[in-house]
Structures are given as C-alpha cells and as structure tokens.
Amino acid sequence: MLGRGPGRTGRGPQAGAGGRGTGSAPAAGAGSRGTGSAFGSASRSHPVVSLLSMGLAIPGSLTPSKVAAFKDCALAFRFSVIDRLPEPPSAQAFKGTVLHRALELLMWEQPQGRRTLEAALAKLDRAFAELVAGPEGSALGLEGDEREGFIEDARELVRNYFVLEDPDSVRVIGTELLMQADIGFSPGLRDGSDQETGLPPEATLRLRGIIDRLELDDDGELVVTDYKTGRAPGEAQEQARLGGVHFYAFLCDKVLGRRPVRVQLLHLREPTAIGAVPSDQSIAGLELQATAIWEAIRRACYFEDFRPKPGAVCERCAFHAYCPAMGGDISLVHAAQAAARDPAACELGEPVPAEVRAPRLPLVAAW
Ligand code: SF4
C-alpha cells in the first residue's frame, strides 16, 4: 500500500434494455416465483407448460461504476442501469468530463518538457469550448455567472493537478483506454445450473472499463492513473474507493498480460493522491468480488428484488419519486420510461407527474 497526501509522489469506483421479458428464461416449473402468466396442461399425456415472468433484463457487462452503484444502493442501480430512467444533467459530472479531456490533450499534444500550467489551462479552455456545445454541456445550459464560476472552478482543479504531480515526468502510453475481459462464471451453486431460480449457467462474465491514463514508470512498468474531481474519501473509505483502479489493474493483467506495479487515484479537489500496489491477492479478490456482485445482480433481476439502501447516497440520487424509502411510487417507473421514449405519446395516455419527467435532484455520481 502506498501513502496518502498531497505532493508529487503522494500515496498514495451494456446494461440491457429496460423492461421485462428479455432476460434468461427459467426452466419450466423451476423457481419460487410465479407472477407471470401460466398456461395449464392440455391433457394428461402432455407435460405442463408454464411461462413464468422472466424478470428484468440482466446487464451485459460489469464495470467499476456499476459495481459501485450496486453496492451503494441496489434500487438506484436498477433505476439507472436496468430501467434506464432519465437523470438530470450534472455540473459536477460535466466538469469531470472537461477535466479529463483537458488532461488528455495536455498529455498528447504537449511533449515532455512542455507540459506547463499555462499549456494545461489553454487545453482546459479548448476542452470546455468543444464540450459545452455537446449534448452534456447543452443540457446544462451554463450561462453568465454560473458559466464563469464553472470555468474558474475547473481552472482551480487544473492548478491542483500540478500540486499532485509533474506532468513532464509522465511517460503516457494510453488515455481513455477501453478494455474488456471475459472471465469464467457459473452461478452460486456451481453445479452447472441454479436450482433456486432455474437461471441457466453463464459461460462468461464480461468486465469492462475505461482507464483514464496508462503510463510507464522509470523501470518500464505499467502504472494506472484515475482522475477524480469529487471529494477524496476519508481514511475509512479509502480501500473501498480503490476498488475501481484495482478493477483496471485486473483488466491490464488479463488483456495485456502485464500487471501494473501501481494504481493511483488523483483527487484534484483537495488535492490528494491515493495509491496501491496490485498483488496476487488483490487480483484474485477482484475476480471473486466481481463474480459475487454479478451473481447478486442476476438474482435481483430474476426476482425483481432490488432493495433501497437509504444513506448519504440518497442526497445525490435522482430517483426519490420512485423510491419507496423516500415515499416515492415504484409503479411510476414504467410511465417514466414511456415518457422518456415518447413524451408526446405519453401525454395522450396516463398523466406523468412533473417530477417523474424531470427529476430535480442531481445525477448519481459514477466513479
Ligand atoms: S433515494 Fe436512496 S434508497 Fe432510494 S433509490 Fe435513491 S439511493 Fe436508493
């Protein structure tokens, strides 16, 4: 484990379509649920044919943000990843997008020795100009003082970045790298079938992630860096927050055949760097944890049993209108999905409350 604190070497978190009927079909007669349609037998000489409800669509892959979201609150995970409910634009998320782009431009367009603060601030201006006209920026509609405040805060984060490391020392070999690896997976009973749900065995579990930055250290070894624009975690949450970069280390190990010697989170707000050294134990632990989370998601989809987990995360949750723990009504989910697909058609049908069409709370942050 590396150290923590400010300084250049300081130590040192696709979904299937929403809706029903597209998941894996349970074996006829298996499982404890029976909420779907059932057709009786035609005669004694023919087997009973049952069409059970197939539950919610199971996501196609697992990413660090999905793991974190499911652990934070399974119900919010369902609303976001499975139901794909619309979420309001987030200035914090957009700021992260702009910062990532600016630092990417700094690494690729400025050779080592010319990555100055002035150059980084110029890249920030360019990144903002490019992205503010895009879908994410347009949805926010930043104007006037709000726009100026956004830019000034982003500039402060760039200045903080230079407290954490000297970009001239970075031997970058990749940015925004999409990696994916399939690992062997079988349900919890590990006998080729899931006797409780009847879910068929899955041959593989797909893990995916986008690595902010991959570089070489002085010895030519891989280092994974992840930029964060939100608050750094307290000491107690530090290890949990490193789950995302360990996920990336696992992907490097599987895809490139080389395990990074270091993974690090650069929290630009404080600024604080948090790092760790991947090990045999952390790589194996990541695979075990991913498999366990995947199994829990599969079962939750099958049983449509995603439970709320009220806590601090609720402050950033956009789904209060649907959450029973917040006095919301989960039956509004289907109306919200219909409104998102075709707002005009929805107005002809059941009325959808305004807060469902346009939730006012900020987006659940992904990491
Ligand atoms: S309001 Fe809280 S408990 Fe409800 S879905 Fe959101 S995060 Fe989960």
Percentage of the chain modeled with pLDDT above 90: 61
pLDDT higher than threshold 50 for residue 359: no
Query: Which residue among 75, 80, 333 is best mutated to probe the pocket of ligand 1, counting the most ligand atoms within 8 A of its Cβ?
Result: 75
What separation in Å is there between the alpha carbon of 333 and the centre of ligand 1? 14
Which protein residue has the closest C-alpha to ligand 1 atom 7? 314
The 10 Å Cβ neighbour count of residue 147 is: 14
Q: What is the pLDDT of residue 240?
A: 72
Of 54-68, 97-111, 251-265, give the lowest mean pLDDT range: 54-68
pLDDT higher than threshold 50 for residue 7: no
Instruction: Say if CB 59 and CB 66 are below 8 A apart.
Output: yes
- Ligand 1: which atom is nearest the Cα of residue 319? 6
Mean predicted confidence (pLDDT) in 265-294: 93
Convert the pLDDT of each residue in 56-74 to its tens digit. Answer: 888 889 999 999 999 999 9
Percentage of the chain modeled with pLDDT above 70: 73
Residue 146 binned pLDDT confidence (cut-offs 50, 70, 90): very high
Helix pair 64-72, 243-255: axis angle to 10 deg: 150
CA distance 87 to 213: 28
Convert the pLDDT of each residue in 223-257 to its tens digit. Answer: 999 999 988 777 767 777 788 899 999 999 999 99
CA distance 47 to 15: 35
Q: Is the pTM above the cut of 0.85?
A: no
CA distance 349 to 187: 41
Pocket of ligand 1 (CB under 6 A): 73, 75-76, 308-310, 313-314, 317, 319-320, 323, 325-326
